[in-house]
Structure 1
Amino acid sequence: MTKQIHLAAHFPGVNNTTVWSDPASGSHIEFDSFREFAQIAEAGKLDFIFLAEGLRLREQNDRIYDLDVVGRPDTFTVLAALAAVTERIGLTGTINSTFNEPYEVARQFASLDHLSDGRAAWNVVTSWDAFTGENFRRGGFLAQADRYDRAKSFLATAIELFESWRGDEVVADKDGGRFLADPHPGAFAHRDPFFDIAGQFDVPRSPQGRPVVFQAGDSDEGRDFAAAAADVIFSRHSTLEAGQAFYADVKGRLPRFGRSRDELLIMPAATFVLGDTEAEAAELAQEVRLAQVSPATAITFLEQLWNRDLSDHDPDGPLPSVDPVVGENTIARGRASVRMHRDPVATANEWRAKAEAEHLTTRELIVEVTGRQSFIGTPATVAATIDEFVQSDASDGFVLAPHITPGGLAPFVEQVVPLLQERGVFRTDYEGTTLRDHLGLPLRDRDQGARTLAG
């Protein structure tokens, strides 16, 4: 059976995806950038747009990391504003489960789901570092090993709140609108080692029953967390083979939680570079990667692994001959990439072997190891490759991150989407009104997610 492809768009935040130096790059603060980006995605009939979250400006050598200086507006504020200038596109925001509270987050997402007529989604993440926690009342108290336990409790509590209003189920009127028949609030009480709350939730059950839940995590705990209660999981696996292995593993976990394979979508992040010919696209892709990883940025990434000041290192020379400093990372504070290197010395040796075998300078090596899954080629090639990944069960679709914001998504929408539509694997128009409709996800049974997480 031919699968339908799911596509979404990520408005890149404070990272090296965006080519800041390009004259076409717009503001990451002004609302017009977010509006233009969302409307381009909606014109392409994409499932949703996605905003990441940053809870603290990151530091490098006791200075604000250069790609963070731009900052990031509040996620809920931007998504609520976008609900007023779009009609169908889903609105997904990352909100942290480590440094927020279930009642507040549930109330905000339920409100967004009402404001958008059922287009809200929550990407549930955890924070691992005390550096970020210093901005919050509980700064640094939560052990890394406890973060998924808190996240499970947080999500289960939020689901209890979403579904605490009692009455008939969500129904549709003759105009397609959805509402809760004969609603009345219900009491909630949740007590466990993380939360001790009770009362009445003050936002009626929303048009989707509850917002769509996203999760991003590659550890065993993360995969189980997604299999238990998420509707969509983000993946970072970039090759067909790695994608298929991840897909089979996560989908294989679903029966343990009483769920079927179609109840969880897998959508890796992906970049793209288009050209009139394969050679032109490859040349442009190399230019983009070099713009994304300037000499200064290459040293920044190098210091994150080596955990030492390398400001005097030549980015056009070989990798450092000294080994990384093992232990607490005091150079790159709050950088998510740091925790991915569980054995810095082993990673450094892998990088050295790759650089020697391929005759790469430090900067060229960083370009290679920091690159995401990229679709590079003519629109026809890119469309065929995306279709192959989905039909081969390496993913259910992709979350696209253009290197130019906000207009960089337009070439994909204008050139690749029509080819996928011609193949019959992507919609030509929205068939429903909610994000669950776009994703092909049913309304969850009342309390199902909370029961699964609790059990």
Structure 2
Amino acid sequence: MSRPPKEVHLAAHFPGVNNTTVWSDPAAGSHIEFESFARFARTAERAKFDFLFLAEGLRLREQGGQIYDLDVMGRPDTFAVLAALSAVTERLGLAGTINSTFNEPFEVARQFATLDHLSGGRAAWNVVTSWDAFTGENFRRGGFLAEADRYTRAERFLRAAWTLFDSWRGDEILADKASGRFLTTPSPGAFAVHDDHFDIAGHFTVPRGPQGRPVIFQAGDSDSGREFAAATADAIFSRHGTLEAGQAFYADVKARLARHGRTPDSLKVLPAATFVLGDTDADAREQAAVVRRQQVSGQTAIRLLEQVWNRDLSAYDPDGSLPDIDPLVGESHIAQGRASVRMNRDPLAVAKQWRELASAKKLSIRDLMIEVSARQTFVGSPATVARVINDLVQADASDGFILVPHITPGGLDAFAETVVPLLQERGVFRTEYTGTTLRHHLGLGAAP
């Protein structure tokens, strides 16, 4: 007996200025003024998306001792933006990345509980860890933790926050309101957390929100990250957007749930995805090539190459050949605060691979950077993109996608106007919101 079609989940990521956005395009607007966030959120809500997602940077990235070009717009505070968006939207979920390495449970739980109240139950927390001392310099508790310790602290942090969220019991407070008596036993908001990371006790200041607890997202791809998600998260972000890689990741994280007493539908797998639409598939491919060259200018190509070579390469021609010299391997690095530095753990091997690729395809530095940093997941006509998205979801390569447009704030418009109706015609995407909370949008059960 075949199963009914799975519902497709869609979300939108406001990317700010990074290597995905084409900030130089005349259609690009501000990446920090509130109206950009508001327009983007309204489009996502009009299309009945599950949620809007904001990443967060806790320090401006640097390269060669200077602020990295694409960070000069700044990185506004996540909570402030999401709280403001709660006033201009009604149903759209509001998800924010908040770090568990440098923050403290009380302040983060208080902010998310407040956001959940302000939004009527639409708050979500992407729990992340931090891996570098460079970012830690912005905080009193500087430095960084080993990977295993980061995830241990993250789990202790999250469980401490849950203790705070759960410290107010709704039924007891309602009973007290009905009787007209003050509730003294148990004391509302009383909490105590004593473990190897936190030693806190007191009274939480915010009553339990509409969702009880915010929806929890997790983005780690390592074994530790996947296990953390299986134990604690409601959704996990993924960079595996193709069929085979997506199915392998999906099967792996879903299989981990049983040992934590959870069912497969209690964790949603949501890869990030970019898109380029055209009137035809051929038209979309042509536009995609233009977008890639806009995303990777000559200057950007040199910057990206420097992150592997760990050298000042500003004298090199981006339309010329790769440097003859090898990457500089050492503790210090020309780029600070960039995940790509950590991902390229063996720069000599990467350089060898890139040289072979450049030689085989006769690629310049810029052409090579376009080739190796491609981020275009869906390219085609609206009909093609709708079909591929649905095929991947039905094949258990994902439960949906978090869309990252290359133009903000208007880059989501075409997808909302052309692809979403086709998914709705297939009966795999909602035509109206049927609930008010993000937990409902995602098909999750009530929080414990």
What is the TM-score normalised by the length of structure 2?
A: 0.94
Q: Which residue of 2 aligns with 1:179?
A: none
8 A contact 2:170–2:208 mirrored in 1: no
Q: Which residue of 1 aligns with 2:262?
A: 259
Which residues in structure 2 correspond to 1:128-143 (within 5 Å)?
128-140=131-143, 142-143=145-146
8 A contact 1:228–1:254 mirrored in 2: yes
Which residues in structure 2 correspond to 1:25-174 (within 5 Å)?
25-140=28-143, 142-168=145-171
Q: Which residue of 2 aligns with 1:451?
A: none
Deviation at 1:358, TM superposition (A): 2.4
Task: Name the CA shift for 1:323/1:169 in 2 (closer, same or farther; >3 Å).
Answer: farther
Deviation at 1:141, TM superposition (A): 5.0
- Of 380, 386, 391, 2:389 maps to 386
Q: Distance in 2 between matches of 1:296 and 1:9?
A: 28
Deviations 1:8-54 (A, max 9, x none): 00001231111011111010111100000000000000000001101
Q: Distance in 2 between matches of 1:324 and 1:109?
A: 43
* The 10-residue stretch of structure 1 (59-68 or 354-363) with the greater mean CA deviation from structure 2: 354-363
Q: Distance in 2 between matches of 1:186 and 1:38?
A: 33
Code of the residue aligned with 2:277 in structure 1: it is L
Q: Distance in 2 between matches of 1:285 and 1:169?
A: 57
8 A contact 1:14–1:72 mirrored in 2: no
Which residues in structure 2 correspond to 1:341-352 (within 5 Å)?
341-352=344-355
Q: Distance in 2 between matches of 1:298 and 1:169?
A: 60
- Of 173, 192, 206, 1:203 maps to 206
Q: Which residue of 2 aligns with 1:187?
A: 190
Code of the residue aligned with 1:296 in structure 2: it is Q
8 A contact 1:124–1:214 mirrored in 2: yes
What SS does the aligned partner of 2:102 have? Answer: coil
Deviations 1:309-341 (A, max 9, x none): 111122112222222222324201111111111
Q: Distance in 2 between matches of 1:354 and 1:437?
A: 47
8 A contact 2:43–2:413 mirrored in 1: yes
Is the counterpart of residue 243 in structure 1 residue 246 in structure 2?
yes
Q: Distance in 1 between matches of 2:267 and 2:148?
A: 25
What SS does the aligned partner of 1:273 have? Answer: strand
- Of 273, 293, 317, 2:276 maps to 273
Q: Which residue of 2 aligns with 1:299?
A: 302
8 A contact 2:189–2:205 mirrored in 1: no
Deviation at 1:112, TM superposition (A): 0.1
Is the counterpart of residue 225 in structure 1 residue 228 in structure 2?
yes
What SS does the aligned partner of 2:87 have? Answer: helix
Is the counterpart of residue 215 in structure 1 residue 229 in structure 2?
no
What SS does the aligned partner of 1:425 have? Answer: coil
8 A contact 2:130–2:144 mirrored in 1: no
Is the counterpart of residue 412 in structure 1 residue 415 in structure 2?
yes
Task: Name the CA shift for 1:333/1:397 in 2 (closer, same or farther; >3 Å).
Answer: same
What SS does the aligned partner of 1:10 have? Answer: strand
Deviation at 1:280, TM superposition (A): 1.0
Code of the residue aligned with 1:168 in structure 2: it is D
Q: Which residue of 2 aligns with 1:453?
A: none
Q: Which residue of 2 aligns with 1:174?
A: none
What SS does the aligned partner of 1:190 have? Answer: strand
Q: Distance in 2 between matches of 1:167 and 1:292?
A: 50
Code of the residue aligned with 1:114 in structure 2: it is H
Is the counterpart of residue 286 in structure 1 residue 289 in structure 2?
yes
Task: Name the CA shift for 1:262/1:183 in 2 (closer, same or farther; >3 Å).
Answer: farther
What SS does the aligned partner of 2:169 have? Answer: coil
Deviation at 1:145, TM superposition (A): 4.2
8 A contact 2:148–2:224 mirrored in 1: no
8 A contact 2:48–2:431 mirrored in 1: yes
Q: Which residue of 1 aligns with 2:362?
A: 359
Which runs of no fewer than 5 residues in structure 2 stay unpaired? 175-184
What SS does the aligned partner of 2:168 have? Answer: coil
Deviation at 1:360, TM superposition (A): 1.8
Deviation at 1:61, TM superposition (A): 0.3
Task: Name the CA shift for 1:320/1:145 in 2 (closer, same or farther; >3 Å).
Answer: farther
Q: Distance in 2 between matches of 1:109 and 1:185?
A: 18
8 A contact 1:238–1:373 mirrored in 2: no
Q: Which residue of 1 aligns with 2:311?
A: 308
- Of 329, 333, 340, 1:330 maps to 333
8 A contact 1:50–1:93 mirrored in 2: yes
Which residues in structure 2 correspond to 1:19-30 (within 5 Å)?
19-30=22-33
* The 10-residue stretch of structure 1 (307-316 or 96-105) with the greater mean CA deviation from structure 2: 307-316
Q: Distance in 1 between matches of 2:348 and 2:80?
A: 42
Q: Which residue of 1 aligns with 2:446?
A: 443
Deviation at 1:167, TM superposition (A): 4.6
Deviation at 1:184, TM superposition (A): 5.9
8 A contact 2:132–2:144 mirrored in 1: no
Percent identity over paired residues = 72
Q: Which residue of 2 aligns with 1:425?
A: 428
Code of the residue aligned with 1:421 in structure 2: it is Q
Task: Name the CA shift for 1:112/1:167 in 2 (closer, same or farther; >3 Å).
Answer: closer
